[in-house]
Chains A and B, each alone.
Chain A
C-alpha cells in the first residue's frame, strides 16, 4: 500500500505565478484535505474534498482552490503567489464512512521568490 503520495516534492515559483500541487489518497480512502505548514508552526487546514466537491474550508483566501477527481485524487491550486505562501503543503486522506485517523503525505515544499 503506497499511502498518501504527493507531487512534486519541491517547487520554486516567483511572486504572482500560479501553482498546482497533486495528491493521491491512500488506497480505499475517498476524502482528501489540504494543510499549509509554515516553518516552525503546526499545519493549518485549508479545505476538504469528498464526492468531488469542497465540503469544509479553513481561513484561506479564494486564491486557494482545489479539485477532486473521480478516482479521489486531488489538486491544490494557488493563484497570484505571495512570498507568504512559501510553506510545506500537506495532503491527508481517510475513508469518510468511518471516523478513522487521517493519513498524511510527506508534503510539497513550495518556495516563492
Chain B
C-alpha cells in the first residue's frame, strides 16, 4: 500500500492560515487522498478528500499537486479549536475498499492564541 509522510508537529498562530503538507510519492491512480483530524479525547473526524482537483468545503481546502505526489491541507483561519492531530490517508476508490483506513502518525497542530 502507498504510504504518506507528514511532519510530526506544526505550530500556528490563531486566526492565521495553516498549511499542513503530506507527501505520497508512491500514490496510485486509484487512490483518493483523505484527511481526518483527531481532537483531544475524541475519535477521528473527516475533514476533506480529493482525487486530482483542488477541493474546498466549510472546514478546509485541499490542494493537490499536479503529479499527485503531494498535497496540502489548508485551514484558512486557525482557531484554538483546530488544535488536533491531522492525518493524511490514501484510500482506494473502489467501494469494497470498505472501512479500512491506514493511519500514519499524523501531524500534531498546535495553535497559539
Contacts and interface: CB of A to CB of B under 8 A. Distances in A.
Interface of A: 4, 31-33, 35, 41-45, 48, 55-56, 58, 90, 92-94, 96, 98-99, 101-107
Given A96-B95, A99-B95, A101-B49, A43 B100 contact: no
Interface in B33-55: 34, 36, 41-46, 49
B105 A4 contact: no
Given A31-B99, A48-B98, A56-B100, A42 B43 contact: no
Given A42-B105, A102-B101, 18 more contacts: A4-B43, A33-B98, A41-B105, A42-B87, A45-B102, A48-B99, A55-B98, A56-B98, A56-B100, A92-B44, A92-B99, A98-B95, A101-B46, A102-B44, A103-B45, A106-B41, A106-B42, A107-B43
Does more than half of chain B's interface fall in helix, strand or loop, or is it mixed? loop
Contacts, number: 62
Given A96-B95, A99-B95, A101-B49, A45 B101 contact: yes
In this complex, the member of B34, B41, B104 whose beta carbon has the largest number of chain A beta carbons within 10 angstroms is B41
In this complex, the member of B41, B43, B87, B102 whose beta carbon has the largest number of chain A beta carbons within 10 angstroms is B43
A55 B95 CA distance: 13
Contacts of B99: 31-33, 45, 48, 56, 92-94, 102
A42 B107 CA distance: 10
A21 to B, nearest CB: 13
A35 to B, nearest CB: 8
B43 A105 contact: yes
Contacts of B103: 35, 42-44
In this complex, the member of B46, B49, B105 whose beta carbon has the largest number of chain A beta carbons within 10 angstroms is B46
In this complex, the member of B45, B49, B98 whose beta carbon has the largest number of chain A beta carbons within 10 angstroms is B98
A31 B98 contact: yes
A44 B49 CA distance: 20
A106 B38 CA distance: 10
Interface in B89-109: 93, 95, 98-106
